[in-house]
Structure 1
């Protein structure tokens, strides 16, 4: 079980630190932790995402599965607020918002974004919070 005092850490490649910081901080609303010449560290909804400058590590043709990351929101209002912010800032969808598993216990709303370095982000909300895991 996760101790809420601990923070999950994810490191991903990026092609351009300025574009990465603009996408995550200015448009998505993530908090900038720190920035160095080779990386940007972000507070990504309470967890740590570090975007390492690695233009050669960029996925030229990203696919949703199996590699993406994101947040499963417990509250629909948080999902809706991020979706509104995404649309307001014109962030690029990799997959427009849709409902998965409609009518089933695991039904959830989801959308995928693509960041400036082709990293895919999924955000979702389950009607039944017991399905979050």
Structure 2
């Protein structure tokens, strides 16, 4: 692990069993502690907790970014460039339906990055991204 401290995020899911399988089998997150209402996962070195919550009828909100409709809220991680490419192929092979297909955002500009968006089985939006030059992560 790097010198960056891991973060913790807790998200609501209305289908604990289905989401538990998704994070473990599709995203390959190692499962940690759990109860009948929540499950901890090692989410790429960070702690993700899925908590049961009754289903909401709220619709997905988006904001425009680089000509795409980015879902808000969303969460995810920044992966190494080569890992991102392999991960995207693996997700596609597993039949994950993308909200925004993997592509290069801000191509040729400051902050150029590979990115993709998809939903978990509870409708939570996830973004995974990568930078060829990680120094561009917070570049203006």
1:77 aligns with one of 75, 82, 92: 82
Say yes or no: does 1:55 pair with 2:74. no
Cα distance change on mapping 1:98 and 1:121 into 2, 3 Å: same
Looking at structure 2, the residues matched to 122 and 58 of structure 1 have their Cα atoms a distance apart, in angstroms, of 22
Cα offsets for 1:88-108 (capped at 9, x unmatched): 211121211121111112111
Say yes or no: does 1:28 pair with 2:34. no
Say yes or no: does 1:127 pair with 2:125. no
Whether contact under 8 Å (1:13, 1:58) holds in the other structure is no
Cα distance change on mapping 1:62 and 1:40 into 2, 3 Å: farther
Looking at structure 2, the residues matched to 96 and 31 of structure 1 have their Cα atoms a distance apart, in angstroms, of 25
Cα distance change on mapping 1:54 and 1:62 into 2, 3 Å: farther
- Identify, as 1 or 2, the structure richer in strand: 2
TM-align CA RMSD: 1.9
Relative contact order: is structure 1 or structure 2 higher (C-alpha 8 Å, sep ≥ 6)?
1
Say yes or no: does 1:112 pair with 2:112. no
Whether contact under 8 Å (2:71, 2:125) holds in the other structure is no
- Which residue of structure 2 aligns with residue 67 of structure 1? 73
- Between the two proteins, the alignment pairs up a number of residues equal to 130
Cα distance change on mapping 1:58 and 1:27 into 2, 3 Å: farther
Structure 2 residues without counterparts, runs of 5 or longer: 63-69
Cα distance change on mapping 1:119 and 1:62 into 2, 3 Å: farther
